[in-house]
């Protein structure tokens, strides 16, 4: 059987094309391509070369419209036993092709050609075309006569083609003339077929008629070949008649076939439908005849011819399918495997022509399987070729390069079972054919696209097949089929903090970012962070970049990726390779780096992967398109990974001109400054330009937490240094002030890098190179962030702060000095450390005690000062000099006393005064003003005073040579003051006072000696000092308070009720000497003081805000200092408890008799 079966096949003239001499394949292909342009040569063009030697048997030849059809059989063909039966099966012409440069001896080449021609006895015309002859060969040609040798001059291809055209016309004309002569000299004797063995049984007459019929049929065949269908029809009609008469079934059928061929070729005006019906009818008859003649292959051939003829009409598809399916079924009984193959090939071809791709693919696969059954290398190669053709129809190819096919793929289904089967067959065929590349591709596709359906064992087998195939290929071979691992783009990690790129606009302050577009300060859409995704990725020429890709190995074996690097489209890119091993069924996030080398837009297409010995390109888009659909099973090789929003990731990257690169660093220290609480220190920050472009703009800013720790930044130094040329360095000072101590870092968690510490303030420097020329896009700026790492250690700590009131006993005198006077006096003689009036006690004197503890291992020196205030700068300076430094050794604590009077606490003074006046008013006007209001007012005043006080007190410290600071004790101070001030400042319910009553004294003022501040206080700090000074004060005093010894002194005790209700109480007076023993009460002992009046158990009732005066007289027998103390026991009416109050001590100085 033959391939390419067509109804019109009867008109094809077969010409064998043979290579003569040495012929490289490329040359042969080139020459053949020239030759095959001339498969159809019109009779009109043949005419000039045609000479009619005798009367032509083809009387009705259409010289105007007809053409000769040539069928070139490159390499020739074997002789068919059916040549006599069908003339078109004969090789009627031979063309030899000779490449002269490789066949120097043209003579021997020609000899070779002649010998080759001898294999084709049926050849009527032979030619040997010699291309590109040398001069010597052309001369050699002259010497000897070589009839059929044609030399082509060495010219360009166009000329060659022209020569070829001429020669082919001549060749066709020769063929035509040969046919004529052959028909004219045809002898009926030799026309036999292999089926004719039993013809001898028939009678002679029948034989004769048969021979006649056969001759007629053969003449008809030649008429067809000579393109004269009308002549052919006439001969076929006779032949059919004779064959029917003689029951020559085979020849009858052959004649009918020839007749159909002539009908189809004849340009008679038969309508298509009629012609089809005619053809169908005639062919059915022919098929029946062949069947009766038991010529199965002819039966199948004609069936297929008919099917091929009908498949041009879509309506008849059903008939065609029936015909083809019948033919294929019939081919089962064919003896020759090749014939079976041919039937399948034809079936595939017909279905393909019909548009039934899947059917075609099915039969193509059958062909491949038939090839596979033939146990030879060539069969395996053919099988592989056919398989790869039909693999296309089973959508096995997943190459994204041919996007057209991909587009269909979305529509067309993928029947993964079949795809796998086809690929497996391809792999087997490729292994058998020794095509390592094809084997690799098939195995690669199987693994990549069908891994979920392949058992782990088979996966391992495929991996081995891959390695084996790669082993046979030269190393570094590239393949278009990606295997493992699956690669997808994960993200573009931001530039490292020191090289961060910021979009720069033409605005002056581009680092501020775009202004808010809406009326709202806070826009939730911005806060959501999706603006982050839209940021274009910008890379800088010559700076290394990084891309994160996800690798996944879903298979059950370990994948060793020899090298993987980024693959980039448009633009130069230096990709760095890495190698990685992926464990079974695992994924990995891999950082791939590279360096862009040119400005422009880069497209990160995928990765170049060398795996299983082959270099392949893995495109991101192959995987990114969601999950891969495999036979409608959703399979995601990255299933073990979290979902990443890929839509936002574009693989386009902008590469910009080189930018300046500032390197910021803290001079000295390793990035972290260890400070004590409250320490002030200047840090030097060095900025150097490591880029190749000068820094033209720069801006320093602070971000992050604890910005209050930075006191000042040397903005001006940086601005003065601009432009900062490449390689230049400047140093910018930054003054830091340590705030509260940072918590100790947890040493167990050692993974967090210190630079990521968000607690420290960040010094952010925005900078940019020169603006580009007009019209160009503004080159982006950069940002470098330098964390100013502060580690604040606890330095001195305030243990407690207390407000103390000095308690010094007041001298008893007949008169009392008004507070204002005392204050004036204090202001006048301001040199002494403590101001006090001996007749008033410690009125108005308060001390602030700070107890500080040194927890560190260094020595601290403390200086207390007042912060610069507008009012009393001078006093502040005084304070500096007045209070000497206090040294606190390590692990020691010390108390620092601060005299509050020095601080001119006007608020506090005023508050107390106000209170005093209120009280006075209350005394005089009796409830003129409500006490509550006064209290509230006083409290507010007190609070503001404390606030002011605490903010003014400044405790500076020095430690070592260069660390100094201020203790941040404001809050602690305020709390302490509030706690103790309330205790001090709140009035007691009772006020005691003593005064001498002298006959000379006319003054009758009330004893208003005390302000509430001087009421008892448990602390008696500094008492001795005060007493020491008292003496001098006494000697100087001219207030007349002296009491002579042995003289009866009349003393009044004033007890005032400060509360708003009447009280019953029992008063008593005690007198103590210097030693503290009571001078009065000791009965039986020798008294040193005699008294008159009651001193004990005086029951009085004092009204609300009332006053009682109790008089008594004392006679001191011994000179010295005595102390008078009043006491009251208040009887509560409701409960029978009694409250005891002690008044403050009053000093009585008893002078000697002298």
Partner 1 sequence: MASTACFVIVSRNDCPIYESEVGTAPKKDEAAHLHQFILHASLDIVQDVVWTTNAMYLKLVDKFNDLLVSVYVTADTHTRLMLLHDSRNEDGIKNFFQEVHELYIKMLLNPLYVPGSRITSPFFDTRVRTLARKYL
**Residue 413 Cβ vs partner 1, minimum distance, rounded to whole Å:** 3
Site string for partner 1, 512-541 (x = CB under 8 A): ------------------------------
* CB-nearer residue toward partner 1: 90 or 365: 365
DSSP letters spanning 458-487: HHHHHHHHHHHHHHHSPTT-EESS--SSEE
Write phi, then psi, for 484 (nearest 5 degrees): -110, 165
**Residue 304 Cβ vs partner 1, minimum distance, rounded to whole Å:** 17
**Residue 414 Cβ vs partner 1, minimum distance, rounded to whole Å:** 6
**Residue 627 Cβ vs partner 1, minimum distance, rounded to whole Å:** 12
Q: Find the binder of partner 1 among 121, 190, 413, 1016 (CB under 8 A).
A: 413
* CB-nearer residue toward partner 1: 345 or 806: 345
The sign of the torsion formed by the CA atoms of 835, 841, 843, 848 equals positive
**Residue 362 Cβ vs partner 1, minimum distance, rounded to whole Å:** 3
Pairing of strands 91-99, 12-20: parallel
* CB-nearer residue toward partner 1: 408 or 870: 408
* CB-nearer residue toward partner 1: 329 or 824: 329
Residues 608-647 that bind partner 1 (CB under 8 A): 631-634
**Residue 338 Cβ vs partner 1, minimum distance, rounded to whole Å:** 20
**Residue 336 Cβ vs partner 1, minimum distance, rounded to whole Å:** 19
CA distances from 921 to 177, 818, 926, 927, 929 (A): 155, 16, 7, 8, 8
Closest listed residue to residue 540, CA positions, set 569, 499, 575: 499
* CB-nearer residue toward partner 1: 321 or 549: 321
Residue 417 engages partner 1 in binding (rule: CB under 8 A)? yes
The per-residue b/e assignment along 682-713, b for 16 or more CB within 10 angstroms, e otherwise, is: ebebebbbebebbbebbbbbbebebeebbeeb
* CB-nearer residue toward partner 1: 330 or 1106: 330
Residues 752-771 that bind partner 1 (CB under 8 A): none
**Residue 500 Cβ vs partner 1, minimum distance, rounded to whole Å:** 45
SS3 assignment, position 455: coil
Residue partners of 1154: CB distance under 8 A and separation at least 6: none
Site string for partner 1, 302-331 (x = CB under 8 A): ---------------xx--x---x--xx--
Which range touches partner 1 (CB under 8 A), out of 3-11, 180-188, 219-227, 406-414?
Answer: 406-414
**Residue 276 Cβ vs partner 1, minimum distance, rounded to whole Å:** 19
* CB-nearer residue toward partner 1: 82 or 393: 393
Residue 411 engages partner 1 in binding (rule: CB under 8 A)? yes
* CB-nearer residue toward partner 1: 633 or 986: 633
Separation between Cα atoms, residue 917 and residue 29, nearest integer Å: 127
Separation between Cα atoms, residue 275 and residue 273, nearest integer Å: 5
* CB-nearer residue toward partner 1: 320 or 848: 320
Q: Find the binder of partner 1 among 357, 636, 921, 935 (CB under 8 A).
A: 357
Cβ neighbourhood burial of 288 (10 Å; 0-12, 13-18, 19+): middle
Q: Find the binder of partner 1 among 40, 208, 358, 639 (CB under 8 A).
A: 358
Separation between Cα atoms, residue 526 and residue 1121, nearest integer Å: 82
Residue 683 engages partner 1 in binding (rule: CB under 8 A)? no
**Residue 435 Cβ vs partner 1, minimum distance, rounded to whole Å:** 23
* CB-nearer residue toward partner 1: 25 or 404: 404
Separation between Cα atoms, residue 1073 and residue 558, nearest integer Å: 103
Reported in sequence order, the residue ranges of 738-839 that DSSP labels E, i.e. its strands, are 762-768, 781-787, 789-793, 796-805, 810-811
**Residue 177 Cβ vs partner 1, minimum distance, rounded to whole Å:** 49
* CB-nearer residue toward partner 1: 324 or 559: 324
Contact indicator for 931, 1060 with CB cutoff of 8 Å: yes
Separation between Cα atoms, residue 1041 and residue 410, nearest integer Å: 118
Q: Which position has the token pair 């051939």?
A: 301
DSSP letters spanning 329-374: HHHTT-S-HHHHHHHHHHHHHHHHHHT-HHHHHHHHHHHHHHHHHS
Separation between Cα atoms, residue 931 and residue 1060, nearest integer Å: 9
Separation between Cα atoms, residue 1146 and residue 1026, nearest integer Å: 14
* CB-nearer residue toward partner 1: 360 or 538: 360
**Residue 547 Cβ vs partner 1, minimum distance, rounded to whole Å:** 35
Separation between Cα atoms, residue 277 and residue 999, nearest integer Å: 166
**Residue 691 Cβ vs partner 1, minimum distance, rounded to whole Å:** 55
Residue 421 engages partner 1 in binding (rule: CB under 8 A)? yes
Contact indicator for 620, 651 with CB cutoff of 8 Å: yes
* CB-nearer residue toward partner 1: 187 or 410: 410
* CB-nearer residue toward partner 1: 354 or 949: 354
Q: Find the binder of partner 1 among 211, 359, 782, 1072 (CB under 8 A).
A: 359
* CB-nearer residue toward partner 1: 365 or 605: 365
* CB-nearer residue toward partner 1: 411 or 716: 411
Structure tokens at 718: 């940086």
Q: Find the binder of partner 1 among 145, 271, 332, 643 (CB under 8 A).
A: 332
**Residue 460 Cβ vs partner 1, minimum distance, rounded to whole Å:** 20
SS3 assignment, position 576: coil
DSSP letters spanning 849-904: EEEEEE-SSS-EEEEEEE---SS-HHHHHHHHHHSPPEEE-TT-EEEEEEEGGGG-
**Residue 421 Cβ vs partner 1, minimum distance, rounded to whole Å:** 5
Which range touches partner 1 (CB under 8 A), out of 335-343, 359-367, 507-515, 615-623?
Answer: 359-367
Residue 179 engages partner 1 in binding (rule: CB under 8 A)? no
Q: Find the binder of partner 1 among 160, 250, 361, 864 (CB under 8 A).
A: 361
Which range touches partner 1 (CB under 8 A), out of 79-87, 409-417, 776-784, 935-943?
Answer: 409-417
Separation between Cα atoms, residue 607 and residue 622, nearest integer Å: 12
Closest listed residue to residue 17, CA positions, set 145, 215, 155, 164: 164
Contact indicator for 36, 72 with CB cutoff of 8 Å: yes
**Residue 630 Cβ vs partner 1, minimum distance, rounded to whole Å:** 9
SS3 assignment, position 1043: strand
* CB-nearer residue toward partner 1: 355 or 514: 355
Cβ neighbourhood burial of 1114 (10 Å; 0-12, 13-18, 19+): buried
**Residue 30 Cβ vs partner 1, minimum distance, rounded to whole Å:** 39
Structure tokens at 779: 């080159």
**Residue 426 Cβ vs partner 1, minimum distance, rounded to whole Å:** 14
Cis amide prior to 723 (ω within 30 degrees)? yes
Residue 414 engages partner 1 in binding (rule: CB under 8 A)? yes
* CB-nearer residue toward partner 1: 363 or 994: 363
Residue 299 engages partner 1 in binding (rule: CB under 8 A)? no
SS3 assignment, position 1067: strand
Size of the site for partner 1 (CB under 8 A): 30
Q: Find the binder of partner 1 among 62, 412, 726, 989 (CB under 8 A).
A: 412
The sign of the torsion formed by the CA atoms of 807, 811, 813, 819 equals negative
Residues 362-391 that bind partner 1 (CB under 8 A): 362-363, 365
Residues that bind partner 1 (CB under 8 A): 317-318, 321, 325, 328-329, 332, 351, 355-359, 361-363, 365, 394, 411-415, 417-418, 421, 631-634
């Amino acid at each position: 059987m033959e391939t390419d079966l067509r109804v019109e096949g009867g008109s094809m003239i077969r010409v064998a094309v043979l290579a003569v001499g040495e012929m490289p394949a490329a040359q042969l292909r080139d020459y053949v391509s020239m030759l095959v342009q001339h498969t159809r040569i019109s009779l009109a063009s043949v005419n000039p070369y045609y000479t009619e030697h005798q009367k032509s048997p083809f009387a009705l030849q259409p010289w105007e419209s007809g053409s000769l059809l040539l069928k070139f059989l490159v390499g020739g063909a074997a002789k068919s036993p059916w040549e006599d039966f069908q003339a078109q099966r004969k090789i009627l012409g031979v063309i030899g092709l000779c490449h002269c440069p490789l066949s120097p001896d043209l003579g021997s080449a020609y000899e070779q050609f002649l010998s080759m021609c001898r294999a084709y006895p049926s050849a009527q015309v032979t030619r040997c075309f010699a291309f590109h002859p040398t001069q010597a060969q052309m001369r050699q040609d002259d010497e000897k006569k070589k009839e059929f040798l044609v030399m082509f001059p060495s010219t360009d291809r166009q000329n060659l083609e022209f020569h070829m055209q001429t020669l082919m016309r001549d060749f066709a004309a020769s063929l035509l003339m040969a046919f004529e002569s052959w028909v004219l000299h045809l002898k009926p004797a030799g026309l036999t077929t292999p089926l004719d063995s039993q013809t001898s049984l028939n009678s002679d007459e029948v034989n004769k008629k048969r021979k006649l019929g056969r001759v007629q049929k053969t003449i008809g065949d030649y008429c067809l070949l000579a393109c004269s269908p009308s002549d052919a029809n006439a001969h076929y009609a006779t032949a059919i008649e004779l064959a029917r008469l003689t029951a020559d079934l085979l020849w009858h059928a052959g004649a009918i076939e020839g007749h159909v061929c002539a009908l189809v070729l004849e340009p008679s005006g038969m309508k298509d439908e009629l012609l089809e019906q005619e053809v169908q009818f005639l062919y059915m008859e022919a098929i029946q005849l062949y069947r009766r003649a038991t010529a199965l292959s002819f039966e199948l051939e004609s069936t297929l011819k008919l099917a091929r003829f009908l498949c041009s009409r879509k309506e008849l598809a059903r008939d065609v399918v029936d015909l083809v399916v019948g033919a294929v079924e019939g081919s089962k009984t064919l003896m020759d495997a090749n014939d079976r193959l041919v039937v399948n090939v034809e079936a595939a071809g017909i279905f393909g022509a019909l548009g039934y791709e899947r059917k075609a693919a099915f039969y193509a696969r059958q062909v491949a399987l038939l090839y596979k059954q033939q146990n030879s290398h060539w069969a395996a190669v053919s099988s592989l070729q056919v398989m790869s053709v039909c693999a296309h129809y089973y959508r096995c190819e997943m190459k994204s390069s041919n996007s057209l096919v991909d587009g269909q793929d979305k529509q067309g289904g993928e029947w993964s079972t079949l795809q796998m089967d086809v690929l497996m067959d391809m792999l087997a065929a490729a292994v058998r054919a020794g095509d390592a590349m094809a084997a690799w591709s098939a195995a690669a596709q199987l693994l990549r696209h069908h891994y979920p359906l392949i058992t782990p064992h088979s996966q391992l087998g495929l991996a081995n097949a891959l390695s084996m195939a790669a082993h046979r290929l030269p190393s570094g071979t590239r393949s278009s089929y990606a295997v493992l691992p699956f690669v997808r783009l994960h993200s573009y990690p931001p530039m490292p903090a020191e090289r961060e790129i910021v979009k720069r606009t033409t605005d002056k302050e581009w680092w501020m970012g775009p202004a808010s577009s809406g009326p709202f300060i806070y826009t939730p859409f911005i806060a959501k962070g999706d603006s982050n995704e839209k940021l274009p990725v910008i890379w800088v020429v010559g700076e290394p970049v990084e891309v994160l890709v996800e690798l996944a190995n879903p298979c059950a074996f370990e994948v060793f990726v020899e090298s993987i690097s980024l693959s980039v489209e448009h633009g130069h890119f230096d990709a760095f390779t890495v190698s990685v091993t992926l464990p079974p069924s695992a994924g990995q996030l891999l950082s791939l780096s590279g360096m862009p080398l040119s400005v422009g837009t880069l497209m990160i297409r995928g990765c170049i992967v060398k795996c299983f010995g082959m270099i392949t390109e893995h495109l991101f888009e192959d995987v990114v398109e969601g999950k891969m659909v495999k036979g409608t099973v959703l399979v995601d090789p990255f299933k073990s990974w979290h979902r990443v929003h890929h839509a936002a990731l574009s693989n386009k990257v902008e590469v910009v001109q080189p930018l300046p690169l500032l390197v910021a660093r803290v001079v000295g220290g390793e990035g972290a400054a260890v400070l004590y609480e409250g320490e002030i220190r200047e840090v030097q920050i060095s900025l150097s330009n490591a880029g190749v472009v000068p820094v033209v703009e720069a801006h320093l800013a602070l971000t992050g937490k604890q910005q209050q720790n930075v006191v000042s930044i040397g903005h001006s130094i940086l601005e003065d240094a601009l432009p900062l040329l490449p390689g230049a360095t400047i140093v910018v000072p930054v003054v830091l002030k340590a705030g509260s101590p940072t918590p100790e870092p947890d040493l167990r968690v050692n993974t967090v890098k210190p630079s990521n510490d968000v607690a420290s303030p960040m010094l952010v420097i925005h900078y940019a190179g020169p603006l580009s020329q007009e019209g160009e896009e503004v080159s982006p700026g950069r940002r470098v962030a330098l964390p100013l790492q502060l580690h604040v250690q606890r330095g001195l700590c305030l243990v407690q702060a207390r407000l103390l009131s000095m308690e010094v006993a007041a001298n008893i005198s007949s008169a009392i000095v008004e507070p204002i006077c005392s204050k004036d006096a204090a202001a006048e003689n301001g040199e002494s450390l403590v101001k006090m009036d001996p007749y008033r006690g410690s009125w108005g004197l308060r001390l602030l005690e700070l107890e500080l503890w040194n927890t560190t291992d260094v020595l601290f020196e403390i200086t207390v000062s007042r912060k610069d205030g507008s009012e009393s700068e001078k006093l502040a300076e005084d304070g500096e000099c007045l209070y000497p430094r206090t040294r606190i050794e390590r692990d020691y604590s010390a108390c620092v006393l601060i005299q509050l009077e020095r601080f001119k606490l006007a608020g506090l003074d005023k508050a107390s005064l106000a209170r005093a006046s209120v009280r006075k008013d209350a005394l005089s006007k009796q409830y003129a003003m409500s006490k509550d209001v006064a209290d509230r007012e006083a409290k507010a005043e007190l609070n503001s005073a404390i606030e002011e006080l605490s903010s003014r007190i400044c405790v500076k410290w020095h430690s070592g040579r260069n660390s100094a600071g201020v203790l941040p004790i404001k809050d602690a101070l305020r709390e302490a003051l509030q706690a103790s001030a309330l205790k001090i400042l709140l009035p007691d319910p009772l006020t005691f006072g003593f005064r001498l009553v002298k006959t000379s004294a006319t003054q009758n003022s009330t004893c208003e000696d005390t302000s509430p501040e001087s009421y008892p206080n448990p602390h008696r700090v500094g008492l001795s000092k005060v007493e020491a000074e008292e003496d001098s004060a006494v000697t100087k005093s001219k207030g007349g308070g002296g009491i002579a010894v042995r003289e009866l002194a009349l003393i009044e005790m004033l007890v005032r009720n400060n509360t708003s209700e009447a009280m019953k109480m029992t008063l008593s007076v005690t007198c103590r000497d210097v030693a503290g023993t009571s001078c009065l009460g000791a009965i039986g002992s020798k008294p040193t003081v005699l008294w008159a009046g009651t001193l004990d158990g005086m029951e009085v009732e004092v009204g609300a805000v009332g006053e009682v005066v109790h008089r008594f007289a004392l006679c001191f027998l011994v000179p010295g200092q005595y102390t008078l103390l009043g006491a009251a026991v208040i009887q509560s009416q409701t409960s029978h408890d009694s409250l005891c109050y002690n008044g403050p001590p009053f000093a009585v100085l008893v002078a000697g008799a002298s």
